Structure 1
Amino acid sequence: QRQAMANNSRPTPTMAPNNSLRWERCSMDIDHLSLHCRQHSHTVLTEATPVPQWIDDRVSLTQVLEAMQASPMHVLDTEFERVRTFWPKLALVQVALPARNVLIDPLAFADLGDLGRVLGNGRPWLMHSASEDLVALKPLTEHAPTALFDTQIAAALLGLGSSLAYQKLVQSELGVSLAKSETRSDWLQRPLSAEQIDYAADDVIHLQALCDRLGDRLDRLGRMDWLWQDGQRQIAAGYELLPSANPHHEFRAAYKLPLAAQVRLVAVLEWRERTARSTDRPRSWVLDNATAIDIAQNPPRSGPELLGKLANCRAFPRRQVGEVIDLLASAEAGAPFQPAPAPLDRETENALRQAREQIDALAAALALESSTLCSRRLLEARARLGTWPPDCTRWRQQLLEPLVQATLGASSPTQNP
């Protein structure tokens, strides 16, 4: 693997270590996550890129961890597999350091607790589209990052586009073309190919340059606090991984089911969630959605009857057939049980349409995509609940609530991060 990397070096534009925008952690307010940047000089791209260093022994890892401990920010990415499992199987951890880029091979170590302790040392994390990476890294450290600079979120808050891919962002901001061919490759194979090594290293090489450029513009627009709030929301989602309190609400047609069938659907979906997590298998492998609805509507009364419905459920634990039958037979509504919501009535839809028009106008004035400012889900939750859902960040509530009160009525804003 080391030889493959040595044979695979090639010049790629990156940040010159002494000619960059340096981020300084000037202050940290626990409630507002107020991090500030100061511009020291202009971003400069050079042709000198260090060959990524493959880390698969304890001595090399210790040296990397010492360098990470001294860094003001953890610049990270991961590669993982999540096709056959519920939990991501970590295959690679990429780290950009001031003078080098390293690829840590988690398959070479029986224990990476020391890496987890460094990651949990309170420094902000710098990543792109970090939601699944956070889940993949969670087993390493019980301490969630204190702050997250996600360059995908930063791009959205600058109006560059929502869910912008890393390659497109690097191309538009830095003028560098990156390969996309290894996105779906097998990251658990060893040795990795030269193309995989290039791809993995590229994923962190340009993060600091993006951070400097995007962060400077966010700071000038007064939107840095928006970034940190959205980062906190992403951290909470990745680290808490709380099962849905109303999993049946995710089924558009669930409102058509009788109340008793909805209660059984909740029971079987909660069983599926517990089983998928404990057996480390995808939810759909344990019990696919169509089968879940089927057995909630028409609960089987015998093992053979249930087994006859499980043709598409390759990871259903056969030894739990009796448990599922008993669960369906004894399911009762918990308190308080919230039936699946029916489609909004015409009056509410008209109110939503008016609110959306005002939100669209505000988004245009802020040069944001309307969905970045307020998704359909958030707006519909505000209409149904009379308040913003817990994951609606404070800056959004402050901008949106005055707009929607005229059409949706007043709300008592929730205290969200």
Structure 2
Amino acid sequence: MTEPHEEDPEQEPEAIPLLAPREGVPKLAVSRSEITRAAELLDSGSGPFAVDAERASGFRYSNRAYLVQIRRAGAGTVLIDPVSHGGDPVTTLAPVAEVLSTDEWVLHAADQDLPCLAEIGMKPPALYDTELAGRLAGFDKVNLAAMVQRLLKVQLMKGHGAADWSKRPLPPEWLNYAALDVEVLLDLRYAIAELLDEQHKSDWAAEEFEHLRKYEASPTRRDRWRRTSGIHKVRDPRALAAVREMWIARDRIAQRRDIAPGRILPDSAIINAATADPDTVEKLTALPIFGGSRQRRSAQVWLDALARARTTEEPPDPHEPSNGPPPASRWSRRKPEAAERLVAVRARLNELSQRLSVPSENLLTPEVVRRLCWDWQPPENPADTAAVVDAFLRDAQARPWQRQLVVPVLAEALTTAGGA
């Protein structure tokens, strides 16, 4: 197998700054007629589509797309506003979705954009993820700017990726930034594909892309309020009930107003209030954050949530119910044989990762590794170990290329660790 090209840390590749799209910044398609014309323009081109979307994470409650950028050879770039047309987005954007269904999509970090694009009726018939391709190629840096500089010798200027894309009108410099993100994607796709072919990893990438295209996240059974930052400091059941009630109150407000929950009330304020348990406006507003004018106006909302926590007949258990193994740091005490298996398996996977120049988490997700080592039941016949491991990984949706590579390694590690 061909080794991946190594970067010389002392000599950065010379890169040409990319400041503007080659055909200029396209006019933003907002109305139904403009969106239909954008679809017709894309249909006049050929080959795969470079696709990107901008959201307003950190500003809005929803994860919806506020801008969609698409580029195709022979058609150029179109910028589409999916929210300001005044109609149902799926219906209004149907002409674009229909054209997009005719060829491969090229995205960078596709898992971030596919859900919001699916919400507006856009789903790829085939997929190429340049970030994932970079990981399989053994790149240390797989952000778009780093990969473009390395492979295309082009420098993307830092821009507005973390901006509030729900803002209207969108500033011209933001639209310029958005258009540049798809300007380079098609060239990047062909460059990284050539490298993967040299490394004999193209088939691996194809399996990964198809898995990603079809992937549907299973609903988590974890209580979302338990993700509150700093909740590990709260162990008393009544205080945990206060965190829960304040989180729920905040979430309802955030969803109704379509504002990111942290902009309604920071997690740190919830933890402080749950711990201090104020029962008057004066006590609440004496706490950090709550003394501001905006929070003073909402003081009764938070006091009511704290009151509900005091009277609840079902305070939450401090120990969160778990669907999987406990943290690996506890294994040596609770299940030492599983801890031994985990050490052996991780060591072998790391060796394989270095040999193939593929991150170990792309060979097999850490969660699957932990579940295998925790739940492992050795077969009666040690010769069946590989078959049992393969069946486990198949149930865990590991791809064929992954199983082909890791099953022998895992079977040997489990046997060496005394697990078979």
Q: TM-score range by the shorter chain?
A: 0.5 to 0.7
Give how far 1:197 is off: 4.3
Task: Return the letter of the residue paired with 1:128.
Answer: H
Structure 2 length-normalised TM: 0.66
2:136 to 157, 160, 184: 157
Query: Relative to structure 1, is the Cα distance of residues 108 and 255 closer, same or farther in structure 2, using a 3 angstrom cutoff?
Result: closer
Task: Give the conservation status (yes or no) of the 8 Å contact 2:109–2:131.
Answer: yes
Secondary structure in 2 aligned to 1:368? coil
For residues 209 and 93 of structure 1, the distance between their equivalents in structure 2, rounded to whole angstroms, comes to 19
Contact 2:47 2:72 in 1 (8 A): no
Write the mapping of 1:326-337 to structure 2, written as runs, cut at 5 A.
Answer: 326-327=308-309, 329-330=311-312, 331-333=314-316
Q: Post-superposition shift, 1:323? A: 4.2
Residues 36, 95 of structure 2: 8 Å contact kept: no
Structure 1-normalised TM-score? Answer: 0.66
* Equivalent residues of 1:246, 1:338 under 8 A apart: no
Task: Say if 1:94 and 1:300 are closer, same or farther in 2 by CA, change over 3 A.
Answer: same
Mapping 1:76-95, distance limit 5 Å = 76-88=51-63, 90-95=65-70
Cα offset, 1:52, TM superposition: 4.0
The alpha-carbon deviation at position 362 of structure 1 amounts to: 1.0
Which residue of the partner structure matches residue 77 of structure 2? 101
- Structure 2 runs not aligned, ≥5 long: 1-15, 377-391
- d(CA) in 1 for partners of 2:160 and 2:191? 27
Give the drift of 1:223: 0.8
Once the two structures are TM-superposed, the CA of residue 394 in structure 1 deviates from its matched residue by: 3.7
8 Å Cα contact 2:364-2:402 kept in structure 1: no
| Percentage of identical aligned residues | 21
Could you say which residue in structure 1 is the equivalent of 2:212?
231
Which residue does the alignment assign to 2:185?
207
Letter of the aligned partner of 1:355 in structure 2?
Answer: V
Asked whether the equivalents of residues 75 and 127 of structure 1 are also in contact (C-alpha less than 8 Å), the reply is yes
Task: State the partner residue of 1:344.
Answer: 330
Aligned to 1:359: 349
The whole-number CA distance in structure 2 between the counterparts of 1:390 and 1:118 is 37
Q: Go from structure 1 to structure 2 and tell me whether the alpha carbon gap of 1:102 and 1:339 turns closer, same or farther (over 3 Å shift).
A: closer
Equivalent residue for 2:146? 168
Distance 1:190 1:319, change over 3 A: same
CA contact (8 A) 2:61 2:254 kept: yes
Alpha-carbon distance change, 396 to 353 in structure 1, aligned in 2, over 3 angstroms: farther
What is the deviation of 1:145?
Answer: 4.2
- After superposition, the Cα gap between the structure-2 partners of 1:145 and 1:354, relative to the gap in structure 1 and judged at 3 Å, is same
Report the equivalent of 1:62: 36
The one-character-per-residue Cα deviations of 1:184-211 (angstroms, maximum 9, x if unpaired) are: 5675364634x54443222112212222
Give the secondary structure class of the aligned counterpart of 2:93: helix
Cα contact 2:241–2:316 (8 A) shared by 1: yes
Secondary structure in structure 2 of the residue aligned to 1:75: strand
Alpha carbons 1:78, 1:94 under 8 Å: kept: yes
- Listed as ranges, the matches of 1:175-254 within 5 Å are 175-183=153-161, 188=167, 190=169, 192-193=171-172, 195-218=173-196, 220-221=200-201, 222-229=203-210, 231-232=212-213, 236=216, 242=219, 245-247=222-224, 248=226, 254=232
Give the aligned partner of residue 26 of structure 2.
Answer: 53
One-letter amino acid of the structure 1 residue matched with residue 105 of structure 2: W
Contact in 2 for aligned 1:374/1:396 (Cα 8 Å): no
> Within 1, Cα distance between the matches of 2:51 and 2:299?
40
Deviation at 1:91, TM superposition (A): 4.4
Q: How many pairs does the alignment contain?
A: 358
Question: Per-residue CA shift, 1:279-305, capped at 9, x if unaligned?
Answer: 322232344333444555565556665
2:136 is aligned with what amino acid?
L
- The structural deviation recorded for 1:357 is 1.2
Structure 1: gaps spanning 5 or more residues? 1-10, 14-47, 411-417
**C-alpha spacing 1:103/1:391, structure 2 compared with 1 (3 Å):** farther
Distance 2:374 2:283 in 1: 39
Shift of residue 179 of structure 1? 1.9
Going from structure 1 to structure 2, the CA distance change for 1:246 and 1:362 (only over 3 Å counts) comes to farther
Q: Give the 3-state SS of the residue equivalent to 2:133 in structure 1.
A: helix
What CA distance in whole angstroms lies between the structure 1 residues aligned with 2:93 and 2:401? Answer: 35
The alpha-carbon deviation at position 173 of structure 1 amounts to 1.4
Change (3 A) 1:350 1:278: farther
Q: CA RMSD in A?
A: 4.5
Q: Distance in 2 between matches of 1:405 and 1:396?
A: 20
Q: Distance in 1 between matches of 2:93 and 2:354?
A: 43
Secondary structure in 2 matching 1:82? coil
Find out whether 1:75 has 2:53 as its counterpart: no
Cα offsets for 1:338-388 (capped at 9, x unmatched):
069564243455543332211111111221133443465554455556688
Superposed displacement of residue 137, structure 1: 3.6
1:26-45 matches, within 5 Å, as none
- Matching residue's letter, 1:231: L
